[in-house]
Structure 1
Amino acid sequence: MSTPDIVVGVSGGVDSSVAALMLVQQGLPVAGLFMQNWADDGSGHCRAEDDRRDAVAVCGRLGIPFHFRDFSSEYWEGVFEHFLAEYAAGRTPNPDVLCNREVKFKHFLEAARDLGAERIATGHYAQVDQHRGRWRLLRGADRGKDQSYFLHQLGQEQLAATLFPIGHLEKSQLRRIARDAGLQTHAKKDSTGICFIGERDFREFLGQYLPARRGEIRDPDDQVIATHPGVFYFTLGQREGLNIGGVRGRPAAPWFVVGKDVARNILYVDQGHDSAYLQSNWLRSEPMHWISGAPPATEFECSAQTRYRQPDEPCTVRVRDDGTLDVHFAGPQRAVTPGQSLVLYDGMECLGGAVIAATNAPLERRLGAPPSP
């Protein structure tokens, strides 16, 4: 078996299938590698074996070697333990960001090099180029599918060894290419949500690791409205699952989570999708990861996303001495959530990102967030 120049992460989905196809069509020595990142827990919700079969079939169709690696223990230690700790602290983590940093562009890259490859490729909707001696991470051409948000923790070493063969394509083009090439994944449904939860109920899954702890649901004036099974099951801006019926003296309008007091196990809610208690125009981040290795300046203007698929939001960034950021937005932002990722952009270029630590939303200030400058 010849040594591959490039190892493609084949997931059993259409995106990675076409990524492999495009490299084969360029005549490059390619191999596929399937990563198992979650051990089957017997729930019937793990699709890993089905996905593996599809990945084997795609590699067979393309005539490239297939490899398998089990990274479930690395995923547990590098991603899932952090996921649980963040939820226990009342924050809302983003496991896809950590999975990319700790597994796909670390252990997968090491496995590819063990196979003799110089580079890896994935089916992410993103692009990479070299500009003035440094590697840049760029948005995917399909703005609705762009995944640079989840890749913002990559650095120069990873980008130098990475290809994104489908980053210039629209999703509709990609499915057509897969169909024309006879790839059985061409009509396969895109995976959504958190991979290790699958289709099961999120609260039921989390309850296996963080037992229910019933507490009060209050409005912003501290009036008790109802009860909840545990503040860590909820995130800011959430409407579903509150189970608040008609409340005497209140209009028949939906309730939304607007704050969490983890120490006292109190969940705060308010009525209205755009409640003032969900609004903030400032955040402080944890230490920032810069893709280029350094910030463009100690203070500058750019755009930001505080959640995936959010429109670009103009902001002013100030880099603090400890590497954290103060970010001021031009307009109010809804439900900016500690534990989620702040990702900065200069046009198409992703500058990097950091975990959101605090905001100046009204209840967060009351519950102890640092004051905005």
Structure 2
Amino acid sequence: MNTAVGTVPRTVVGVSGGVDSSVAAWLLAQSGEPLAGLFMQNWDDDGSGQCRAEDDRRDAVAVCGRLGIPFHFRDFSKEYWAGVFEHFLAEYAAGRTPNPDVLCNREVKFKHFLDAARELGAERIATGHYAQVQRDGGRWRLLRGADRDKDQSYFLHQLGQAQLAATTFPIGHLPKAQVRRLARDAGLPTHAKKDSTGICFIGERDFRSFLGQYLPAQPGDIRDPHGVKVGEHPGVFYFTLGQREGLAIGGVRGRAAAPWYVVGKDVPGNVLYVDQDRDSPWLLSHTVHTEAAHWIDGGAPAAGFDCAAQVRYRQHEEPCRVQVNDDGSLQVRFTRPQRAATPGQSLVLYDGPACLGGAVIAATDAPQPRQGPTPAR
């Protein structure tokens, strides 16, 4: 059922120009929902040609035209800069590895987008996220998407009751393969479009070159965990714990011809620490300390409780014991050691398929590489 132009929509769907949001809009339109589409521009074109926002906008317009629903556009680039990108830069400058997708959801998609939808007269918003919302005893729960490989609840863990009450995820119960088939069968112009990856403002460009425009970096030493120099790096900001690519360490006398992995960063000293064991003890931690947590239900289940957690996206959840501190921060003890739990990334908690909330990782109990002058060899 098409929505007549001028009809006040009950739901505004975020149309990104991708296949997921296209099918979300199609499903709602098929149900007869009074509907409109809204495309968000979150990044100003910087002239690089790497951000495909204009192409995505044209595809979003085409989808709305195919479905016969009104199309709206909003420029949230200033809000994105202030609410997401400035934090992104500050975290990298501090030697941490931020997750801008989490902040983008909280600050833009489920804040400014929701406000824009209400200005259009809508009661709720819809997106193409692989997640599910369930009402349970007067409360709202965020559940994993049915397609575990595509589940995006990790990136949505900062949402609260008010946001979930006004949100629907029309494709959350579907596997990705079926979403593609539905798009093809419905004749949606995005049915064969490649999935977007990464962050729009970085696109396909070189990450180091992009970040260097905002955070000028200096070359420095690459050292092993004991402080012995094994190479040089172009800037500590460009690397994260567990990373293998881009180190460019050649043959080192007396060392095995094996890959090197980042195991630590000394930002004030401009030193990058590496080891040759993918599961190096310098990367393993049993206890993770976080900043103040956000709880989807509005509060922690208890001062101490057992659940499961992820310290990165696409990781299978691991059993853990959570202790909630007086200041709202968490101490999370895992049954098995976690590899490369990284400050700045999100630790997200689950009770079965339900996401409880999460927090930004502040520190871990992984051993720290030796810092100071390079020892004599």
Q: 1:325 aligns with which of 310, 330, 333?
A: 330
Q: Structure 1 residue 46: deviation in Å?
A: 1.2
Q: Structure 1 residue 312: deviation in Å?
A: 1.1
Q: Distance in 1 between matches of 2:330 and 2:200?
A: 30
Match status 1:46 vs 2:51: yes
Q: Distance in 2 between matches of 1:152 and 1:180?
A: 33
Give 1:179-190 correspondences, 5 Å limit: 179-190=184-195
| Secondary structure of 2:117's aligned partner | helix
Q: 1:235 aligns with which of 240, 243, 255?
A: 240
Q: 2:11 aligns with which of 6, 10, 14?
A: 6
Structure 2 letter corresponding to 1:362? P
1:370 maps to which residue? none
Q: Distance in 1 between matches of 2:278 and 2:143?
A: 32
Match status 1:256 vs 2:261: yes
Give 1:349-360 correspondences, 5 Å limit: 349-360=354-365
Structure 1 letter corresponding to 2:248? N
Give 1:58-97 correspondences, 5 Å limit: 58-97=63-102
| Secondary structure of 2:292's aligned partner | coil
Q: Distance in 2 between matches of 1:79 and 1:93?
A: 10
Q: Distance in 2 between matches of 1:117 and 1:299?
A: 40
1:297 maps to which residue? 302
Q: 1:18 aligns with which of 9, 16, 23?
A: 23
Give 1:206-221 correspondences, 5 Å limit: 206-221=211-226
| Secondary structure of 2:12's aligned partner | strand
Structure 1 letter corresponding to 2:356? L
2:342 maps to which residue? 337
Q: Structure 1 residue 153: deviation in Å?
A: 0.2
2:3 maps to which residue? none
Give 1:131-210 correspondences, 5 Å limit: 131-210=136-215
Match status 1:315 vs 2:332: no
**Aligned residues, how many?**
366
Q: Structure 1 residue 212: deviation in Å?
A: 2.0
1:100 maps to which residue? 105
Q: Structure 1 residue 296: deviation in Å?
A: 0.6
Structure 2 letter corresponding to 1:62? L
Q: Distance in 1 between matches of 2:145 and 2:115?
A: 25
Q: 1:363 aligns with which of 361, 368, 373?
A: 368
| Secondary structure of 2:133's aligned partner | strand
- 1:255-305 CA deviation, whole Å, 9 max, x = no partner? 000000111111000002111111111010000000000111110000000
Structure 2 letter corresponding to 1:300? F
Q: Distance in 1 between matches of 2:164 and 2:242?
A: 34
- Structure 2: gaps of 5 or more residues: 1-5, 372-377
Structure 2 letter corresponding to 1:61? R
- 1:35-68 CA deviation, whole Å, 9 max, x = no partner? 0000100001010000000000000000000000
Q: Distance in 2 between matches of 1:331 and 1:144?
A: 22
Match status 1:226 vs 2:231: yes
TM-score scaled by structure 1?
A: 0.97
Q: Distance in 1 between matches of 2:339 and 2:106?
A: 27
4+ runs deviating over 4 angstroms: none
Structure 2 letter corresponding to 1:237? G
Structure 2 letter corresponding to 1:63? G
Q: Distance in 2 between matches of 1:46 and 1:129?
A: 35
- 1:12-33 CA deviation, whole Å, 9 max, x = no partner? 0000000000111110100000
| Secondary structure of 1:363's aligned partner | coil
CA RMSD of aligned residues (A): 0.8
Q: Structure 1 residue 359: deviation in Å?
A: 0.2
Q: Structure 1 residue 84: deviation in Å?
A: 0.3
| Secondary structure of 1:286's aligned partner | strand
Structure 2 letter corresponding to 1:322? D
Q: Structure 1 residue 91: deviation in Å?
A: 0.1
Identity %: 77
| Secondary structure of 2:47's aligned partner | coil
Q: Distance in 2 between matches of 1:213 and 1:244?
A: 17
- 1:173-217 CA deviation, whole Å, 9 max, x = no partner? 000000000001011100111221000011111011111211111
Q: Distance in 1 between matches of 2:231 and 2:185?
A: 55
Q: Structure 1 residue 220: deviation in Å?
A: 0.6
Q: Distance in 1 between matches of 2:329 and 2:236?
A: 27
2:61 maps to which residue? 56
| Secondary structure of 2:368's aligned partner | helix
TM-score scaled by structure 2?
A: 0.96
Q: Distance in 1 between matches of 2:142 and 2:51?
A: 31
Structure 2 letter corresponding to 1:147? Q
- Structure 1: gaps of 5 or more residues: 368-373
User: Could you tell me whether the CA contact under 8 Å between 2:217 and 2:237 is conserved in 1?
Assistant: no
Match status 1:120 vs 2:128: no
